[in-house]
Amino acid sequence: MSKARGPSASVISDNKSDLINASEEYPVIRGKLQSEYYSETKAHAEQLVLEANNPQEGGLLTTAIRPSGIFGEGDMQLVHHAIRVYRGGNDKVQVGLNTNLFDFTYVENIAHAHMLAARALLVTHASKTKPLDHEKVDGEAFLITNGSPIYFWDMMRSVWREAGSPRGTDHVWVMSRDVGLILGYLSECLGTVLRRTPNLTRQRIVYSTMTRYYDISKARRRLGYEPLVSLNDGVKRTVHWTLEQEKAAKA
């Protein structure tokens, strides 16, 4: 038997510090060092999955897929929120200097990685010999991205452009990260008083200004992974799907 499961690339991030070409050799961040409960739960799930790996004859083989910045059809977070920002006129504001590279991953590429991992596990299960260490898939974790890091606000503008924005960057007002964190804190306080979920939070400010991209060479070597859909095409498909869903809801 074999199973491929998808935790998250955030398991090696403390969600505060930059990650530059990070690989699977980076330690998983847990406990007091982990500032985000979401990442803690993903790390715990990954631990359970990998501990279940049993390469003995007839045993269950498992592997963990760690995608970064997932978006695609059905996405109600990244792209959905970006379109709301544009429609609210808040695309005029940029937090930080836009020098932070970020890895996003189109959902079809993640599904492709899962299929490759499952196939590799089935091959291992059927084989009479153990794979060499540099070929091993079972019991391993794999970082998966589109393999094309992009400056964070360039990604947001590509979404806005597909959603209908005619603007370039001339209209942009650049806000410092520190100012953004203060405004995020005030927004959170106001949200607590009004019992509403704030649109602007400190976590979103940090997320939009941190460098976070990964080395996916392990997945390329052992799984044969290459993205099937480019970042640009993924954005076009996702925005088109989102707009079509809105039209259908209004009909």
Select which of 3, 32, 42, 236 is catalytic: 42
Does 218 participate in catalysis according to the annotation? no
DSSP the chain: -EEEE---GGGG--SSS-EEEE-TTSPPP-GGG---HHHHHHHHHHHHHHHT---STT--EEEEEEE-SEESTT--SHHHHHHHHHHTTGGGEEES-S--EE--EEHHHHHHHHHHHHHHHHHHHH-SSPPPTTT--TT-EEEE--S--EEHHHHHHHHHHHTT----STT-EEE-HHHHHHHHHHHHHHHHHHT---SS-HHHHHHHHS-EEE--HHHHHHH----SS-HHHHHHHHHHHHHHHHHHHH-
Between the alpha carbon of residue 155 and those of residues 31, 44, 104, 185, 202, the distances in Å are 31, 30, 9, 25, 20
Biggest CA–CA distance in the chain, Å, is 63
Residue written as token pair 């996702």: 238
Tokens describing residue 205: 């400010």
Looking at the annotation, which residues are catalytic?
Answer: 42
